[in-house]
Structure 1
């Protein structure tokens, strides 16, 4: 089952050259995935009663043609496959002529919100999503980022209220905000990153002081977020 919804690039979604930011495009992908789940009874409004929620583990996005302000976008998403505890979801963003302008893939777990633990994806839940097992936007499977142990510099990032989501930990998209704050000025101002990877390892909560380690590998810019010597996330931009 391919689920779709229409969007328009607003003033809050644009950056340089009046083009949509990576955060705006990821937000569209995140929103359409939530709407898909809501359409089959496992959306945000059902979390309180069903005590179940989807938790994101990995993002991968590639921008093919960056949309500008006021562009109309059609977002498509589908469940691609389920493996044991993991569910994989893909995305396509299309312009009004049907051209694909961005693609994405992601990996999720289903969580018991009371126990804060993953739960097994049973057939009755999996069947509701009607997975498109032969439709993949990337030729290769999503995998961990190889981060550098040797870093160029370290910088602290303090988690504020604006970073927190409805589950009371750092919002998925706030990790991208954090990464951009860590980038050196010349990289931030002069690079446009059409490829984004975020791997979530350990949740971050309000008030934490996160140590962010910046490194470069070929043309990839990597930010590794740590707290108490544990890796919270790795963000890769290129």
Structure 2
């Protein structure tokens, strides 16, 4: 995400400029595929490209590669432009997208929805209070904290013995300062080792995710 922000800054599309226009960029979904994790002291490349956009959605790709070009991980992300005063999705402004020289498309991508937790499934739950330091420039919880909440609810022995292989995470509702958050997970250890996550406040379901794992050898 820092790589994409660096690109935006170089093109003059800074957070300050977007905010002064009354808008903010919001992520709605990440599709992550991890082939292997970088090793300690390994030098890596972080690459990003604003791939395409339509009237309401922007699609951006990210890669992590080794120095010799081996692809370690890839992420496909969906962004929308949020009207800060109305708290609604806005049409993409030409002045905020033209500098990226990305492709315009009429197509709206239909990415798969993460699997949801079924009511009678066994789950693990942890609760959190949103702190001021969890809030970003859009005045809601920074997306990185959702990952923290989802991983934190998993048992330590599971995290020590497994590595993340794939993740599909979808953000549905904003979480705000002082909200009370409940992170839930259902663990499936069958042919495919999978965890299904949800983040809820007292008011709404805010985020869902589906993760595929591999066993460490």
| Same fold, TM-score > 0.5, yes or no | yes
- Out of 202, 205, 208, the residue aligned to residue 228 of structure 1 is 202
Q: Give the gaps of 5 or more residues in structure 1.
A: 1-29, 135-139
Say what the alpha-carbon RMSD is for the aligned residues.
Answer: 2.4
Q: Whole-Å Cα distance in 1 between the matches of residues 175 and 130 of structure 2?
A: 8
The ranges of structure 1 where at least 4 consecutive aligned residues each deviate by more than 4 angstroms after the TM superposition are none
Contact in 1 for aligned 2:24/2:138 (Cα 8 Å): no
Asked whether 1:156 is paired with 2:127, we answer yes
Asked whether 1:215 is paired with 2:215, we answer no
User: Which residues of 2 match residues 53-72 of structure 1 at below 5 A?
Assistant: 53-72=24-43
Distance 1:68 1:172, change over 3 A: same
Q: TM-score, normalised by structure 1?
A: 0.76
Distance 1:123 1:64, change over 3 A: same
Contact in 1 for aligned 2:3/2:46 (Cα 8 Å): yes
Distance 1:103 1:132, change over 3 A: farther
Please give the secondary structure, in 2, of the residue aligned with 1:156: strand
What's 1:237 paired with? 211
Q: Which structure's residues are more often helix, by fraction?
A: 1
User: Which residues of 2 match residues 119-158 of structure 1 at below 5 A?
Assistant: 119-131=90-102, 142-150=111-119, 151-153=121-123, 154-158=125-129
What's 2:215 paired with? none
Q: Whole-Å Cα distance in 2 between the matches of residues 235 and 162 of structure 1?
A: 23
Contact in 1 for aligned 2:180/2:202 (Cα 8 Å): no
Distance 1:53 1:168, change over 3 A: closer
Further displaced range: 170-179 or 124-133: 124-133
After superposition, give the CA deviation of every residue in 1:156-188 in whole Å (9 maximum; x if it has no partner). Answer: 222233422233321111101001111133322
Q: Give the gaps of 5 or more residues in structure 2.
A: 213-217
Q: TM-score, normalised by structure 2?
A: 0.83
User: Which residues of 2 match residues 109-124 of structure 1 at below 5 A?
Assistant: 109-124=80-95
- Out of 153, 175, 187, the residue aligned to residue 146 of structure 2 is 175
* Number of residue equivalences: 204
